Structure 1
């Protein structure tokens, strides 16, 4: 049994972390328990009805609530740090992947294995991507949102599609990105407008509508030169609405990358706001390649995407 006993970033990171564990467990006949999915469990059909957040799902699961989930997470944190069980710590000095790490030798079959640390979620760029692809269908099925969110997403996308030819989702990440990695990927609205204009030019004979999803409210006048619609301003509905777009644009972020993975839609991650886009700049999740540059300050260790 593999227990994810430490939290890792926000929604996108937790989803990718879980996905990597599910793929590994599927390959090696393990069970995954994910108490660290606490805050997001109630959004998804499989985890909402199971406070253990267990994979594979069990037929006799018990639904949880915020209090139960928080209590259960704290118990697992205590057990992981108690020294009574096999606890595997993932260091942040380099990306972890199941395929090339000696850590897998520390696993004890037939026992509980607690995992702490989170840089292994970055393995999706290079080494473990084939397993994510192989088990993608069951991962997507497990992380289907609740029906009410699915219906809201379907209604939004259907309304847009009835009036346009191409939908391009735009993830404007403000808020926390102003401080994240010293604002390296914090782009002004004016920067996003440049990228949107370049993207629109790729479809000269079609009507392009932009679906704008952001963690901050913006001035409507900023987008007056485009056909655009705002997302529903809901953490799950925006992510899964992006997954239904034809193309996705956003800064380097696991939020839009999960949308790309889940919806199997090509994504352009903005690294140069002045770049003239080509259609080949939109890359499917399984095509991503990158190099990791570690830093003594773990918060400054970064990926440099090469494709």
Structure 2
């Protein structure tokens, strides 16, 4: 029975995909070293996953505003961090973990040898690129959504079986509409329409055999797309959208951790929209 454990106290305040990226990087380290891992900071999304236990903060999220729960949870997390300060580590800068590196913070080694039994983490920059590759299958098994959320996505994709190619399209709106940064550009439907036509043309696909399934955190006007394109607008929640994307053949979309995680989970390509032009030759 495992008696050594990692407790993830806090991430970076981001939403589902950002939290999942942190979680799986530490999770893969825990698998590598046979260490238990708990993530109370995942309280907002634990309810959607088969293998995640809901905490008191999780239950509060059913009826209290997100901001209020965050304040309550952060109060608890900061107290826990203060009490366990000697057994904690913050990732203010990139922190690689095994099997991605042999040089990593000594406090992890103390956990491995049993010098300490618990390690509390704070921050988002724990990374384990080799670990998430090596343990991909175990990661996707652990992070399976509950059937309630998966079935809706699967039913929608089943209705598209007549198409040879199913392309997931992620259009992030929300904060991307106001961020003034070329890396995180918001694209209007008319611009996305051009990307989709370019995609078909470059890969020599026909509009008849290809279906584009759009997910977005905002309203989408299908009238702004070329009428020859087969477009479907899937309207699920944050989790349903994520796992629908993961089950498509390829993802085109905004440059965000959301589409990137869906691609990782589904082991499929992800091509980000680029306002300076997409180099499709790099995607083959």
Give yes or no for TM over 0.5: yes
Moved over 4 A (4+): 67-74, 100-103
**Distance in 2 separating the partners of 1:209 and 1:215:** 20
Offset from partner CA, 1:117-145 (integer Å, 9 cap, x none):
1122xx3xxxx322111111111011111
**Distance in 2 separating the partners of 1:7 and 1:24:** 16
Q: Match for residue 245 of structure 2?
A: 242
**Distance in 1 separating the partners of 2:279 and 2:182:** 23
User: Which runs of 5 or more residues in structure 1 are unaligned?
Assistant: 53-61, 283-307
Q: Note if contact 1:39-1:66 (Cα within 8 Å) is conserved in structure 2.
A: no
**Distance in 2 separating the partners of 1:16 and 1:115:** 14
Match of residue 123, structure 2, among 107, 110, 117: 117
Q: Secondary structure of the residue that 2:105 maps to in structure 1? A: helix
Q: Secondary structure of the residue that 2:96 maps to in structure 1? A: coil
Alignment of 1:60-79 (within 5 A): 65-66=59-60, 74-79=75-80
Q: Note if contact 1:6-1:77 (Cα within 8 Å) is conserved in structure 2.
A: no
Q: Note if contact 1:192-1:273 (Cα within 8 Å) is conserved in structure 2.
A: no
**Distance in 2 separating the partners of 1:207 and 1:276:** 23
Offset from partner CA, 1:208-247 (integer Å, 9 cap, x none):
1100011110222112431011112311111100011111
**Distance in 2 separating the partners of 1:181 and 1:105:** 39
TM-score by length of 2: 0.82
Moved more, 218-227 or 198-207: 198-207
User: Which runs of 5 or more residues in structure 2 are unaligned?
Assistant: 63-68
Q: Match for residue 230 of structure 1?
A: 233
Q: Match for residue 174 of structure 1?
A: 173
Q: Match for residue 216 of structure 1?
A: 218
Moved more, 75-84 or 63-72: 63-72
Q: Match for residue 195 of structure 1?
A: 195
Q: Tell me whether 1:43 sits opposite 2:42 in the alignment.
A: no
Q: Match for residue 88 of structure 1?
A: 89
Deviation at 1:281, TM superposition (A): 1.4
Relative contact order (C-alpha < 8 Å, sep 6+): which is higher? 2
Offset from partner CA, 1:36-70 (integer Å, 9 cap, x none):
101010011111xx236xxxxxxxxx996236997
Q: Secondary structure of the residue that 1:26 maps to in structure 2? A: helix
Q: Secondary structure of the residue that 2:255 maps to in structure 1? A: coil
Alignment of 1:281-300 (within 5 A): 281=283
**Distance in 2 separating the partners of 1:14 and 1:168:** 25
Deviation at 1:75, TM superposition (A): 3.0
Q: Note if contact 2:84-2:120 (Cα within 8 Å) is conserved in structure 1.
A: no
Q: Note if contact 1:164-1:209 (Cα within 8 Å) is conserved in structure 2.
A: yes
Q: Note if contact 2:246-2:265 (Cα within 8 Å) is conserved in structure 1.
A: yes
The number of residue pairs the alignment matches comes to 261
Q: Match for residue 297 of structure 1?
A: none
Q: Tell me whether 1:254 sits opposite 2:257 in the alignment.
A: yes
**Structure 1 residues 34 and 208 mapped into 2: Cα distance closer, same or farther (>3 Å)?**
same
Deviation at 1:259, TM superposition (A): 0.8
Q: Tell me whether 1:147 sits opposite 2:152 in the alignment.
A: no
Deviation at 1:253, TM superposition (A): 0.9
**Distance in 2 separating the partners of 1:63 and 1:236:** 19
Q: Match for residue 138 of structure 2?
A: 138
TM-score by length of 1: 0.77
Offset from partner CA, 1:259-291 (integer Å, 9 cap, x none):
10111111112234533634x416xxxxxxxxx
**Distance in 1 separating the partners of 2:84 and 2:142:** 32
